[in-house]
Amino acid sequence: MGMSVPGEGGGDDKAMSDINVVPLVDIMLVLLIIFLITIPVITQTIKVDLPKVANQPTKTKPENITVAIDAAGDVFWNQSRVPSDQALLDLIKSVAVQNPQPEIHIRGDSQAKFAAIGRTIYLIQRGGVIKVAFITEPDRGRR
């Protein structure tokens, strides 16, 4: 902002009250150019083909095994309760050698602790079963 001081020139004794916007415009143009140059560099990503979404109902086969985990952390193999981790591991190893190998579907209670579900997944991995799936309820558009 410029201002003239009254004094010796004998000219106008009024102060200049206009804002000098030229430096502001210069700075804004420089910032605009910087943003136009840097935005394409920031937004570059690797080209990948993402999978397409397809919601298909689970096809239950007789050889699929359902492992359920209730809110208390108890593990059930199909409909029967498994007493210990070692017993679950033995059951998993017995089905892992079958050809074709069955899928294990995990049904975890929403109130179950993640430690119980993680321990079950770890035992399935140790047992040698490759195909593991989670059974969930579809979102019905909660209101």
> What CA–CA distance (Å, rounded) separates 89 from 70?
18
Q: What is the CATH number of the domain that holds 71?
A: 3.30.420.270
Structural domains in the chain (count) = 1
- Interhelix angle 114-127/85-96, rounded to 10 degrees, is 40
> pLDDT tens digits, residue range 60-92?
666 788 899 988 889 999 888 999 999 999 999
Better-predicted residue by pLDDT, 1 or 104: 104
Q: Tokens 């899928």 label which residue?
A: 103
120 contacts 69 by C-beta, under 8 angstroms: yes
pLDDT, residue 88, reads: 93
- Beta-bridge partners for 65: 104
Query: What average pLDDT does the segment 41-62 reach?
Result: 62
The average confidence (pLDDT) of the chain is: 80
Query: Does any domain span residue 142?
Result: no
Better-predicted residue by pLDDT, 37 or 10: 37
Better-predicted residue by pLDDT, 47 or 76: 76
Query: Does any domain span residue 35?
Result: no
97 contacts 130 by C-beta, under 8 angstroms: no
User: Which pTM was predicted?
Assistant: 0.56
Which residue segment(s) compose the domain that 127 sits in?
65-134
Query: Does any domain span residue 112?
Result: yes
